[in-house]
């Protein structure tokens, strides 16, 4: 007997028919003798619909009230799933985040989990019940409902699994695992049977939408064995088949020994680049430029500064495309007066393409293969950044798909046909 956490995404919970299928799958696990905690998302489209209502009333709704309403989608899901399980003759009980409680800080719309009380959940499990806990939400010290940011149910599930010391956290979703790249762009993309935690963390932060990045951080911090697998299979598929399907996030490097040097090509379209030209090349300049950007709460990703010629240099950095206008706004007034630079230019039609793989640590020539491949396709690289296990480039976004396809092939990730 093991304690297992199941997480079901919005598509998996998307209709009452699908919820009945989730109930069948959960019942199968329970009847095999396992203790099961389920953390579902809201039914697909529901969170968008609810947030849309607020936007119809106000351009800038109060974040506390946004969380109050956004959290209701998951509350409907847990109740419906409990009803479906009871229909199958199981004992089931649903809880909203505040009832567990899942305690968070007070950063509405992007709260962080601080603690999870496991007492009630263990008592219910020991009494033979399936426990269903809302994803995406918690409660702050003042008793206010908070949410964890879009896609936050992944994080709820992994955090619950960590708190309960679950044997495994199964993330059921509408894809059957983590792929070498998005199969909608490269049809030859392959499912990875295992991916290391570090690679998954890079992929999540570089644009792969399979898991919310914070859930991966949680899995790493508490070493929660986490598996991404499909909820669209027959719910009655044998347990052992299910336990070996999907993609397992591993913490042991040697399990990856057989894998290719590069595990995946990630991409992110939502990038924008800003360049300040003719910046005096002297101490304090990076701080003068990026200080006001940070003060405006804008995240900066890649940064490039060259050595100046004739005392002047260019300074470039990237931000999320949604924050491009705001970043330009912040800097426009300062370019000449505070920074004493010549001008500011920008481009919000760029994207980031990255190759990720822990094999990079022990192999040379990865960067040169990447740059050669892009040059053979006539793609100009605008910026480069590297870490121990990834290389990212900023390129014109009209070449994104071409770059992803070419790199996927060059690194030998295409499926054997």
Minimum gap (Å) between residue 41 Cβ and ligand ASP: 3
Smallest distance, ligand ASP to C-beta of residue 151, A: 5
Task: Give the residue with the Cβ less far from Mg ion, 209 or 363.
Answer: 209
Nearer to ligand ASP, 41 or 180 (CB): 41
Q: Which is it for strands 35-40 and 92-95: parallel, antiparallel or unpaired?
A: unpaired
Nearer to ligand ASP, 136 or 399 (CB): 136
Determine the angle formed by the axes of helices 400-410 and 366-376, rounding to 10 degrees. 130
Stretch that binds ligand ASP, among 29-37, 152-160, 169-177, 339-347 (CB under 6 A): 152-160
Of 136 and 267, nearer to ligand ASP (C-beta) is 136
Per rule CB under 6 A, is residue 42 in the interface with ligand ASP? yes
Check binding of 226 to ligand ASP (CB under 6 A).
no
Q: Is 153 in the site for ligand ASP (CB under 6 A)?
A: yes
Q: Which residue is nearest to Mg ion (CB)?
A: 151
Residue 111 Cβ vs ligand ASP, minimum distance, rounded to whole Å:
12
Nearest to ligand ASP of 110, 122 (CB atom): 110
Question: For the CA atoms of 277, 282, 284, 285, what is the dihedral angle to 10 degrees?
Answer: 0
Report whether 120 contacts 126 (CB < 8 A). Answer: no
The two three-digit tokens of residue 212, written as one number: 């919310």
Among 41, 226, 231, 373, the residue binding ligand ASP under the rule CB under 6 A is: 41
Residue 108: closest CA among 156, 48, 68: 68
Among 95, 98, 108, 136, binds ligand ASP (CB under 6 A): 136
Give ∠ CA 244-14-139 in degrees, rounded to 5.
Answer: 90
List residues binding Mg ion (CB under 5 A).
9, 151
Cα-flanking dihedrals φ and ψ of residue 149, to 5°? 95, 155
Positive or negative torsion for Cα 65, 69, 74, 79 = positive
Contacts of 261 (CB under 8 A, 6+ apart): 357, 359, 360, 363, 366, 411
Nearest to ligand ASP of 151, 246 (CB atom): 151
Q: Are 248 and 194 in contact (CB under 8 A)?
A: yes
Least gap, CB of 151 to Mg ion (angstroms): 4
Which residue matches tokens 């020994």? 257
Residue 264 interface partner, choices Mg ion, ligand ASP, none, CB cut-off 5-8 Å depending on type? none
User: Per CB under 6 A, does 262 bind ligand ASP?
Assistant: no
Q: Nearer Cβ to ligand ASP, position 130 or 210? A: 210
> Considering beta carbons, is residue 266 or 407 the nearer one to Mg ion?
266
Least Cα distance to 131 among 117, 144, 146, 145 occurs for 117
DSSP per-residue string spanning 213-230: HHHHHHHHHHT--EEEEE
Q: Return the one option of Mg ion, ligand ASP, none that residue 235 interacts with (CB less than 5 to 8 A, by type).
A: none
196 binds ligand ASP, rule: CB under 6 A: no
10 binds ligand ASP (CB under 6 A): yes
The region of 149-157, 249-257, 262-270, 381-389 touching ligand ASP under the rule CB under 6 A is 149-157
* Interface with ligand ASP (CB under 6 A), residue from 5, 36, 73, 344: 73
Contact indicator for 170, 20 with CB cutoff of 8 Å? no
Whole-Å CA distances, 24 to 19, 81, 88: 9, 10, 8
38 close to 8: Cβ distance less than 8 angstroms: yes
Instruction: Answer yes or no whether residue 357 interacts with ligand ASP by CB under 6 A.
Output: no
Which residues bind to ligand ASP, rule: CB under 6 A?
10, 41-42, 47, 73, 135-136, 150-154
């Amino acid at each position: 007997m093991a304690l297992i956490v199941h997480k079901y995404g919005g598509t998996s919970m998307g209709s009452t028919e699908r919820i009945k299928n989730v109930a069948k799958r959960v019942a199968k696990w329970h009847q095999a003798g396992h203790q099961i905690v389920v953390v579902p998302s809201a039914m697909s489209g529901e969170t968008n619909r609810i947030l849309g209502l607020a936007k119809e009333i106000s351009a800038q709704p109060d974040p506390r009230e946004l969380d109050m309403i956004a959290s209701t989608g998951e509350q409907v899901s847990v109740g419906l799933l409990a009803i479906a399980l009871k229909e199958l003759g199981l004992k089931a009980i649903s809880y909203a985040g505040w009832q567990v409680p899942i305690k968070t800080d007070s950063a509405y719309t992007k709260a962080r989990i601080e603690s999870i009380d496991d007492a009630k959940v263990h008592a219910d499990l020991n009494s033979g019940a399936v426990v269903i806990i809302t994803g995406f939400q918690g409660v702050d010290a003042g008793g206010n409902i908070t949410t964890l940011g879009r896609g936050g149910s992944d994080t709820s599930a992994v955090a619950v699994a960590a708190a309960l010391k679950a044997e495994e956290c199964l993330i059921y979703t509408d894809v059957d695992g983590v792929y070498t790249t998005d199969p909608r762009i490269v049809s030859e993309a392959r499912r990875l049977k295992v991916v290391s935690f570090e690679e998954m963390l890079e992929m999540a932060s570089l644009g792969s939408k399979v898991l919310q990045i914070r859930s991966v951080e949680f899995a790493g911090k508490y070493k929660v064995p986490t598996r991404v697998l499909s909820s669209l299979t027959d719910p009655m598929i044998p347990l052992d088949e299910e336990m070996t399907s999907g993609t397992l996030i591993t913490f042991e490097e040697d399990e990856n020994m057989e894998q290719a040097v590069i595990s995946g090509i990630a991409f992110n379209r939502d990038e924008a680049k800003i360049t300040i030209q003719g910046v005096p090349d002297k101490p304090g300049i990076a701080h003068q430029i990026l200080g006001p950007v940070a003060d405006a709460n804008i995240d900066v990703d890649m940064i490039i500064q060259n050595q100046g010629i004739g005392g002047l240099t260019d300074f470039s950095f990237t931000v999320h495309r949604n924050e491009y206008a705001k970043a330009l706004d912040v800097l426009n007034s300062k370019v000449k007066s505070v920074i004493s630079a010549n001008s500011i230019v920008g481009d919000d039609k760029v994207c980031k393409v990255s190759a990720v793989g822990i094999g990079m640590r022990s192999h040379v020539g990865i960067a040169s293969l990447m740059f050669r491949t892009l040059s053979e396709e006539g793609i100009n690289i605008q910026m480069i950044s590297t870490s121990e296990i990834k290389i990212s480039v900023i390129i014109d976004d009209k070449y994104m798909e071409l770059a992803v396809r070419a790199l996927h092939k060059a690194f030998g990730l295409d499926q054997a046909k």
